[in-house]
Structure 1
C-alpha cells in the first residue's frame, strides 16, 4: 500500500484524535494511523480525571495550558456529542482530597468518561472527512534535504508534507525522545447509582464515580517496559488503599481489572513542538498522567504551529528535546 496525504497523524489516542479535530477545517487531506484500534491505549485505560495529581499543587509551567484546556472541554464535548450522538459524559462532579490527615474540597475538578469520549471523538473525526486507519504501525520517516517527505509503515509508505507524532508511550520507537512507558493498573467496581458522586483522591489512589454507579479505582505506577499484564498483587493493593477512602469498597463487586501504559517523561514536560532536524515533522507526546486533561489545548497548540498561526519558542518548556 502506498498512499498520499497532506498531514499524517501517528496515533489515534485522545491527543492524536484531538489534533485531527483541531485541523478539520484546515482544508488539508488528513489521515490518522494507529498500531491498534482508535482510542485503545492510555487514553482508554485511565480514570478520566480532568486535573493533575496531586490536586493541591499545579506546576506554574503547566498552568496556562491546563487553564486553556479546561476552558475548552465543555464546548469540545458538546460539539462532538451533537455531531455524533455519542455523549462523552463530561461531569463537573468536584473532588475531595484526603491526605496527610487533612481533607480539602476541589469543586472545580471534573471528569470525562474517557471510553465514551474516544468513541465520540473518533466518530466526529471520521464525519469531518478525516480517514482513520487502524492496525498500521509507523516504522520510520522519509526525508530529503532536511524536510519530511513521508512515513514508512507496516503496510507501505505514506507520502505527506507534514506529520505529527502522537503515539504516546510508543513515541520513542520513532524518534529520539525521553518518553518511556509507565504501567498503571485500574480496578472497576459496581456501586449503586448515586452512592458516590464526587471524585475522592488519596495520597496514592483515587476513586472516580460514574453516573451509572460504576467506580474506578486507580492507579499503580510501574516502570516495567511495555508489559500490560494486570496482577493480583496490584489489584489487592489498590483495593486496600481505596478502602481507606470509602467503606463501600468492601461491598462493591469487581467488574474489571486492567492495565495501560502512560507516556512518561521523567521530570520533564510534554513535548508539543516541531522537530528541529526535520522540517514538517511535529511531536505532541509525553503527557504522562494528564493526556486527557491537556488534550484539547495541546491539540490547539500543535495545530497552530503546523498552520503557522502561532510561533514556536525554542527555549520554551514544551519544545523538542532528545533523550
Structure 2
C-alpha cells in the first residue's frame, strides 16, 4: 500500500514511521525542509501545560507521549545514532490558583504522569535551589519529562530518509487534489507533477486551512506565533522545568534552557519581536533570577496550528474514502504526536484503535463552503 503524506512536521513524520513499520510505502511532501516549522520551534514538554485546562480528548492522546517516545528512541537510535534525550526533569508550577485544582485532578485521574505534590518553600529549595525567593510554594510533578525536539525531528528524518520504502519531496508545494467521485485520484505539485497513491494524508499543521476551498470544508486551523529564547548555563544546572502564568523554562541535559512562550495572532509572520523577547526574559528571570547571568544564545518564533478546542482532527476526511487528516494539535503537537500517528495508522489499516476515536472525528469540519 502506497501512502502520500503532505507535511513533514512531527505529525507527518510520526505517521510515516508508523506506516512504514507496518510494511507500507510512503511518499512525504513538504513545502520547505522537513521538520522546519512548529515541531522544531516548540519546547518539547511531554504533557499539556496545566492538563486540567484542556478537554479530556487532548489528555487522552498526550498520556502516551513519554512512553511512546521512549520506545521510538530505543528503536531508532541504532539506525540513526541520534539520542533525542527524553529528560525526566519533573516540573514545578507556581500558579497558586491552580494548586487545588491540580491536586484534585491528580486524585481524580490517578495517572502517573500527572502525579503531583504540594511543596512549601523549604522542600521547594531542595528540589530546585535556583527558584526565586519570591515563590513560597509550588506544585511539583516529578514524572513530567521533556524531549529535545530538534534532535527528535533529526532522528525521524534520518531514519525515514534511509528507509527503502520512503521517498522524500522537500521544497515541494502540493497545489491540487484531483477528486474523482469519493476518491482522491492524484495530487499535483505546483510544477505540474502528478503523484498517485492509495491513500493521502493531510498533516500540514498551521497551513491546513489552505485546503478548505478545494475540499469545500471549513477547516478552522490557523497560525498562532510563539516566540522562544535559549539560554546557555552549565551542564545539568537547572534541575527541573518551571512554569508560571503559561511561561516556562525547560532545561536540556547540556545546560541549554529553553524559555517561552508567547501567543500572537499575526498570520504567517515568523519574525521574532524585541518586545516579546523582553517580556519572556522578564517572566523567566522572575522564576529563576540567576538566568540573567547567562547568555542568550538564540531566539526564534514558530507557528502553532491553532484549532477551536485544541482537539486535533484525526481520521478520514468527510465524503472522501482515501483522504485522511492528522492536524490541528495547537500547543500540544509534540506530546500528542505519537498517539495521533498511531491512531491514524490504525484507521488507515483498519486495525483496532488505541483509544475511542470519536472526539477527533473530521465530521466537525462538515460546515461546507459553497461552490
Residue from 334, 346, 368 that aligns with 1:304:
346
Equivalent residues in 2 for 1:148-297, closer than 5 Å: 148-155=184-191, 156-175=193-212, 176-297=218-339
Distance 1:268 1:191, change over 3 A: closer
Matched-pair contact (CA < 8 Å) for 2:46–2:62: no
Distance 1:268 1:255, change over 3 A: closer
CA distance in 2, matches of 1:67, 1:240: 32
In structure 2, what is the equivalent of residue 88 of structure 1? 84
CA distance in 1, matches of 2:160, 2:357: 33
1:105 to 2:101 alignment: no
CA distance in 2, matches of 1:214, 1:194: 9
3-state SS, counterpart of residue 61 of structure 1? helix
CA displacement 1:32-51 (0-9 Å, x = unmatched): 01001111010000111111
In structure 2, what is the equivalent of residue 142 of structure 1? 178
CA distance in 1, matches of 2:356, 2:42: 32
Residue range with higher mean Cα deviation, 60-69 or 140-149: 60-69
Deviation at 1:61, TM superposition (A): 2.4
Deviation at 1:163, TM superposition (A): 0.6
Deviation at 1:204, TM superposition (A): 2.3
Distance 1:313 1:242, change over 3 A: closer
CA distance in 2, matches of 1:318, 1:276: 13
CA distance in 2, matches of 1:49, 1:69: 10
Distance 1:58 1:77, change over 3 A: farther
CA distance in 2, matches of 1:313, 1:76: 20
Distance 1:55 1:27, change over 3 A: closer
3-state SS, counterpart of residue 289 of structure 1? helix
Matched-pair contact (CA < 8 Å) for 1:162–1:280: yes
Q: How many residues align?
A: 319
1:59 to 2:55 alignment: yes
Residue range with higher mean Cα deviation, 71-80 or 56-65: 56-65
Matched-pair contact (CA < 8 Å) for 1:273–1:312: no
Residue from 41, 44, 49 that aligns with 2:45:
49
CA distance in 1, matches of 2:145, 2:310: 25
Distance 1:313 1:85, change over 3 A: closer
Deviation at 1:235, TM superposition (A): 0.2
CA displacement 1:109-138 (0-9 Å, x = unmatched): 101110000000111112322111100011
CA distance in 1, matches of 2:52, 2:294: 29
Distance 1:52 1:251, change over 3 A: same
RMSD: 1.9
4+ residue segments displaced more than 6 Å: 311-315
Deviation at 1:141, TM superposition (A): 0.7
Please, which runs of 5 or more residues in structure 1 have no aligned partner? none
Deviation at 1:314, TM superposition (A): 11
Deviation at 1:68, TM superposition (A): 2.7
